[in-house]
A and B are shown apart, each in its own frame.
Chain A
Amino acid sequence: MKQLISFEIKKMLRKPLVWAALTGLIVFIALMEYSWVVPGYACIQTENDGKRVTIEGFEAIAINKEISAAYCGPLTDEKARSIIETYDMPDSLWESNDIDPGREYHYSHNLLYDSLSANGFVNPDGSYKGTTVEEVFGALAPGMIIGYSTGWECTINVLLYSFLLWGCILVVIVSPVFSEEYTIHMDALILTGIHGRRKCTLAKIVSAFLITTVGSALLLSVCTLLHLSVHGSVGWDSSVQLGELGYFGSVPYQLNWLQLYGLSCIAWFGGMFVLTSIVLVVSALGKSSFSALVIAFVIYVVPMFLPWNILPESLELWGYLLPITQMQLLKLFRFDLIALGSLTFPPVYLAIPITVIISIAGILWSKRGFSRHQVV
């Protein structure tokens, strides 16, 4: 069995198209990491002897961490006021640097100022609006924790796009698993071998899931290690609603970055396993490797463009639990906690039973599809 799995993995990976796609993924991740995380867009604008000074890169990250350390912990009205008043820049400075104060929100002061600015604590001219934490966050206000979040937010963003692309590449890798045998007429040889219908078919399925698991784990590990090496783990307990970019500003329950990271892993891995299962079924039932590739790709990508929001909320949620919409995270995290008796949990947990059910169904269906396939 081990030998068959090894052969099947080699067959899947030793294709110019796969290597080109993997190279593309690596370049994409490198560019994303450079733009977002290492050191990313980290930028602080401050005043020095009446001049606007811009600090970028690793130095900005270090200063942001220092500033965050001074304020980290529960977000209070006093902290909000202090941050905004301390780090707001006077109009005179913008004028002397020929910058329109009305567009101040386009320019970075520092992470914490930007977080509060994104959450509506700041007037258009950059000054404190007087809004309280409770007015902004309502019932969530008592649990809001401020801290250094840029690294987490950017890393999750990079991972999100990388997983979406990795899904496309997985379609390219997995869709020929069975269908290519039909195309090159190797199905006849495989199915006349003593292990053709059972072990070889199973080896193909195991190989596909191994590639999915190892590839996803590698992607996650590389991005996480880069994040930890550049930004450290600091800020893991701060609230996702206080992210500098505001991507997760509308999460309607308490969630910190580490929890979001964990839930995102469920969504990404679940999405990848469901995708692998679907592609295996398409491959086993497809007539040729090209048709299997096209059909699998359409099944993967099209749900991203469907207007799920026109459906009632209960149905809309299921639309966001399809592999690609689930891995996009953002819309899935806008749904409130699901209550099941006395138990409440984030909707992303639904991905676990869905993944288990679809994976089992996919394995059985694709196995049956190939082993009972009539050679033509």
Chain B
Amino acid sequence: MELRIENLTKQYGTFIAINNLSAVLTCGVYGLLGANGAGKTTLMRLLCDIQLPTAGTICYDGENIREYGDRYRNVLGYLPQDFGYYPDFTAMKFLLYMSAIKGLSKSYAGQRSLELLDEVDLLQVKDKKIKTFSGGMKQRLGIAQAMLNDPKVLILDEPTSGLDPKERVRFRNLISSFSRNKIVLLSTHIVSDVEYIAGNILVMKKGEFIHKGKPDEIIHTVDGKVWECRVADREVPSLESRFNIGNMRTEGENIILRIISEEKPLEDAVNVTPNLEDLYLYYFSDEDHPQ
């Protein structure tokens, strides 16, 4: 099972949202990491065949998804970013509606919906209207609908944004449990989401993949560029203006700063092992802040 992206480009007028991307995705969880506006959502829409590329192709098991047509939709599960629900539908009715759209038989749809509601811990509230649900509950319902047809390709666009830490952990675990024997592509700008569940990471900036690989391999690209140093409180503003500062923590009278820099920022700075958040800061410090 493979999803092959070849020279994919999407242009809106003169703005290039996706610039000549190529990648091959096989079974496993892929974290698509990038700042807002990097092109993650556009890429996902192209992968879902709900936007047409300006150039390039996407092939599933060697066949162009445009030609694969409805058969491709049969293996596809998608959770878009910020999608609305029908507020007056109950959770169960919503899943039955989505099942009908996904072509599941009525009897199987009922059984599968109950199973999934149980898995996402919404069985108790299956007959409650969606408008009464919290953000986390809605997202869990969202992943349940994406899983209705037991997809081979699961595309999740910023599924954890707006969730509190507890819901985020819960949601991550759900994705992990659903990811067996699937191509899962998870886009986010929340570093910890991909850090824990993604076996592969695609780092995207300005419509291009700037790195692809396993988390450890990618993190190595910033080896030697992450420093820690102990400074006095009054020195922090000046350092903040000169360097890309990561974590800051207070220890007694001093502040321990984590600085991402090509060169040693201070005499007593110590080189430390980078993590994914450092990588994010290294590449996206000029765009937005990680969460």
Contacts and interface: CB of A to CB of B under 8 A. Distances in A.
B85 interface: yes
A374 B100 contact: no
B73 A194 contact: yes
Interface in B50-96: 50-52, 70, 73-74, 76, 78, 80, 82-86, 88, 96
Interface stretch (B30-38, B101-109, B185-193, B196-204): B101-109
B50 A375 contact: yes
Contact of A374 (B51, B80, B145): B51
A189 B100 contact: no
Interface stretch (A137-145, A180-188, A222-230, A323-331): A180-188
B101 A188 contact: no
Contacts of B70: 194, 197-198
A189 B78 contact: yes
B51 A192 contact: no
Contact of A184 (B45, B49, B85, B101): B85
A195 B102 contact: yes
Contacts of A14: 88
- Report the interface size class on chain B: 20 to 34
Interface in B130-149: 145, 149
B200 to A, nearest CB: 23
Contact of A188 (B50, B73, B88, B96): B50
B48 interface: yes
Interface string A178-210: 000001111111111111111010000000000
Nearest to A184: B84
A194 B84 contact: no
Interface in A20-46: none
B101 A196 contact: yes
Interface stretch (A3-11, A101-109, A300-308): A3-11
Contacts of A7: 96-97, 100
Nearest to B77: A192
Interface of B: 45, 48-52, 70, 73-74, 76, 78, 80, 82-86, 88, 96-98, 100-103, 106, 145, 149
18 contacts: A4-B101, A7-B96, A7-B100, A14-B88, A184-B83, A184-B84, A185-B80, A185-B84, A186-B83, A186-B84, A188-B50, A189-B83, A192-B48, A193-B101, A194-B70, A197-B70, A375-B45, A375-B50
